[in-house]
Every structure is written in C-alpha cells, then in structure tokens.
Structure 1
Amino acid sequence: MSQKRLRRTFLEAIHSIKDYIDQHPLEIKTIEELIHRTHSQIGINLLHQGFRQLYGARIKEYEIKKRLEAAALLLQQDEMTMQEITTLCGYSSQSSFVRAFKDVHGITPGQWRNQHVPLLFQ
C-alpha cells in the first residue's frame, strides 16, 4: 500500500472516530470500542497521535467536552433532574459532574440551567 493511501486511510479512520463521538456523546466507550464500532483499521497509538494533531485534544478530553455539551442541552430542556443528567453523563457523583461541567462551560450546571431555561412566571 502506498504511503499516500495509507495516510488517507488513517485520516479517514480518525475522522470516522470523531464523527462517532459527535453523534453519540453520551455513550461511554473505550478507545478499542471506538475503533471497533467505526470499523477503523488504525492502531491505538497512531489514533491518539493523529487525533491530537488534527483536533488539538486527546480523545478522552474531546469525549468529555462533547458529553458536557450534551449535558448543557439536557439542562436547557429542563426535563431531567441534575442527578439523572449526572448519571447519564457517566459521573458517579454530582460533585465531579459539577466540577467537570464548570471546567468546560465556566459556570455550574445549576447556573447554566438558570440562565438558559425560560422563566414561566415573571
């Protein structure tokens, strides 16, 4: 296989894995599962290296960011409790969820909900 074709195959695999994360942000998965679910033909080390070069973040960092972006949307819908969202996002404690959410969004989930849920009675 030529180097150019090999490079294209790896790039396609990395893009495919990113797309899968984007489409399934609340799904908790290992790197091996990502490779398997996207039918990618790429080694773990090359995937880590290529993903970071292309997207400026490690895969797990990117997954967490996407998961917490999904959490923000759930908070806006105001249909689930904070504990339900915490669990759905894969956190075992609400305090770790709040800390991670604040790292990504700059405010706590409660503050986010208060700012983004329309008031019914004013």
Structure 2
Amino acid sequence: MNNTTLYIKNMVCNRCIMVVQDLLGKLGFTVLHIELGKVLIQETPEKADLERIRQALEAVGFELIDDKRDRLIEQIKQEMIQLVHNCNGELKVNLSDYLSEKLHHDYSSLSKVFSETNGITIEKYFILQKIERVKELLVYDELSLNEIAALLNYSSAAHLSSQFKSITGITPSEFKKQKTHLRKGLDQIV
C-alpha cells in the first residue's frame, strides 16, 4: 500500500490541522503526518474516495488542491504564514533565499507564478501577513512596539509604524485605541 500526500488550501493554524486530521479519521483514512497545507495518509484513495474527501473538506472551509501550480502557491503561502506567525524572529536571511531553500525552486520562478496567480508580489503578501501578526500582538497588549518590531525583524519601531500605517491607514497606537479591532483571517489575505 502506497502513502498519499494530499494538499489542502486554507489550512492556516493548528486548529485547522486538528479539524482536518479528525475529518480524515472519520472518513476512514490513517493520517501519518500532517502540517499546514499538507497531509500524508497511509492509503491510496480511489477517485470516489478523493471526491468524498473533497466534499468533506469543502463543508468545513478547506479545499483539496489537485493542480501542481496551485500546490506551489499554497506551499509559498504556508511557508510565509509559518514564518510570520509561528517562527518568531527566525528570519535571519532574506525572504527570497528562505523560500528558495524551503521549496527547492528558483525564487524568480516562485515570484512569477505567485504574482500571476494572486495579483500581488510575494513581498507584498509577506508584508500583509506581518501586519496581521502586528495587529494580533497589539490586541494581546503584552509586548511594546519595539519588542514587536524586533520579533518580526523590522529594523525599528518607526519602520514598523510606517509600514503599518501605509497598509491600514492608521498608526499602531490608533489601532490599539479602537474598540473593534478589524483583523483578517489568515486565509482571507489574498
């Protein structure tokens, strides 16, 4: 029996992993390994099984990815989400080198396919992810702006503030003062 890798769109957090793992278990599949956007199952599903998986995933807001190009786009997004939201301060090389190494593709080809598919650059998507992370940290109110800047590899709090304002239209301190904090789900960022 061969193992099968399934690629799943919109898996953006640990809760998503738990939901997908539970769903596949209920459908009778053995999950050998699971991570954001990717599941290794023990079985080799037939066409009808894949359709059941697809329908079950869609019912809870996920999407099974068949197309090779779409898989690559999802892998790019998952690497950036992981980097921004789970690997606090770990980006010590530039983003292009990081993605090339992780995905084993030339950065120019990654950049081209990402831009063509999403209508924005990888760098812009990365900035949008970082801004959502800044919003989250501001709402928690446990770190200073200087600490948030250091955590997300900004050169300074001033640079973070400038980028935050250019994306959101308000400063981080204005955002903190708001009664409702308008944040986007990670799967809703382009």
Could you tell me the TM-score, scaled by structure 2's length?
0.51
Contact 1:51/1:57 (CA < 8 Å) preserved in 2? yes
CA deviations over 1:67-105 (Å, ceiling 9, x no partner): 111001000000111110111121122221111001111
User: Residue in 1 aligned with 2:76?
Assistant: 17
Q: Distance in 2 between matches of 1:104 and 1:97?
A: 11
1:36 correspondence with 2:95:
no
Q: Distance in 2 between matches of 1:20 and 1:93?
A: 24
User: Residue in 2 aligned with 1:114?
Assistant: 177
- How many Å apart are 1:15 and its aligned residue? 1.7
- How many Å apart are 1:24 and its aligned residue? 2.4
Hey, which of these two has a bigger chunk of strand by percent? 2
5+ residue gaps in structure 1? 1-7, 118-122
Contact 1:102/1:109 (CA < 8 Å) preserved in 2? yes
1:57 correspondence with 2:117:
no
Task: Tell me which of the two structures has the higher relative contact order, counting C-alpha pairs closer than 8 angstroms and 6 or more residues apart.
Answer: 1
Q: 1:116 to 1:70 in 2, by over 3 A?
A: farther
Q: Which runs of 4+ in 1 moved over 4 A?
A: none
5+ residue gaps in structure 2? 1-66, 181-190
- How many Å apart are 1:36 and its aligned residue? 2.2
Q: 1:78 to 1:116 in 2, by over 3 A?
A: farther
Of 80, 86, 108 in structure 2, the residue corresponding to residue 45 of structure 1 is 108
